[in-house]
Amino acid sequence: MNAVIVHAPCKINLTLDVFGARLDGYHDLESIVVPFTPADEISVKSKPAHTPYHHVTLDCDDSSLPTDEGNLAFRAAIVFLNRFMPNQPQDVTIRLSKKLPCQSDLGGGSSDAAAVLKALHRIFCVDPKELLELGSTIGSDVSLFLIGGPVLMSGRGEKVARLITSLSHIFGVIVKPDIEVPTAKAYALVDALKNRVPGKSTERLCELLRTELSMEKLGVAFNNDFEDAIFQAYPEVAEAYRCVASAGAIRALLCGSGSAVFGLARDYDHATQLVNLLRARFPYVTMATSFKEEL
C-alpha cells in the first residue's frame, strides 16, 4: 500500500502552571498548549507479516536518535499493534524526517509518537477514544498531539481537553541556544525555589480565549513557572529570552522546561522580521505558525 504521511508539530505552552510533586514523583500541571509548525514528517507503511509476530522498522534522518524502543515513535507502533492487532502480525515501516531540535521541550518525541498512532489509525480505523487512552500510556504529551488545536492540559499532562477559542492563526519565532536542560533537573530547580507560589495563568488565559483579543493582550497572559528557576541556572537560556524580547517580540516565553524560547509576533511579516534579526545569534532559529491536524 502507499505510505500514509503525517506531520508531527511542535508544542508551545502558552501557560504552564507547575504545582507540587505527587507521591508518584510527577508534578501536577495546568497548561494551555498550542501545536505549531515546524513539524517532523513521518511516513508509515504496513503489510501483513510473514512471521508469527509484529515487525517494526524505523528509519530516521537524524543518526543521533535511537531507532528501537528508545524512540517513542517506534514504541507507539509496537503498543498500537499489540493493542489493536494482537492476532494479525504486521510488518510496519516508519520513516522519520526530523525538523524539530532535540532537548528543547518542544515535544518532538511525543509528537512523533502521536503521528505514528494517527497514521496507523488511518490504516486500520480504530476507535479514536481508545487511541487517546493508548497515547497517554506512551508519554505524558502524546494525547495532546492526538487532539489537535489548542488544548487544556492537566494532571501530569495526560488529561487533555480541546479548547474552543477565538484564535485563528498565531505567528512567532522559536530559537534554541546551544545547551540542553534535562527535564528532571528543571523540576528539581523549580522545587528548590523558596516561597514559590504556583501561577494561576491557565485559568486567566482560558477566560481571555473566549473573547476576541489582540496578540498584545494575548501575550500579557502568557506565563511559565519554570522561567525563574531555569534562567538562574542556565544563563544561555536567559540570554536567548532577552534576545527574543529585545528583537521586538510581543512576548518572549520559555518553551516548557527549555531550552528553546518562543517569541510571539503580531503577524506573518513580524515573525519573518524576528527570524531575520535572530538568525545570526543562535544555532536554531525558525518561524512558528499555529497548526491544526486532527485524527
**The residue to which cell 514559590 is assigned:** 196
**What does the alpha-carbon distance between residue 237 and residue 258 come to, in Å, rounded to a whole number?**
8
Q: Is there a contact between 76 and 96 (Cβ–Cβ < 8 Å)?
A: no
Give the DSSP letter of residue 198.
Answer: -
- Annotated active-site residue 141? The verdict is yes
Cβ neighbours for 281, distance < 8 A, ≥ 6 positions apart: 175, 243
φ/ψ of 52, rounded to 5, equals -80, 10
The number of helix segments (H) and strand segments (E) in the chain equals 10, 11
Number of other CB atoms surrounding residue 236 within 10 Å? 15
Residue 250 Cα distances to 27, 30, 293, angstroms: 30, 23, 26
DSSP assignment of 135-196: HHHH-TTHHHHHH-SSEEEEETTTEEEEPP-S----EEEEEE-S----HHHHHHHHHHSTT-
Q: Which of 17, 40, 112, 141 is catalytic?
A: 141
Question: Which three three-digit cell numbers place residue 215?
Answer: 496578540
Query: Between the CA of residue 199 and those of 21, 71, 204, 285, what are the distances in Å?
Result: 15, 33, 10, 29
Residues 6+ apart with CB under 8 A from 213: 166
What are the catalytic residues?
11, 141
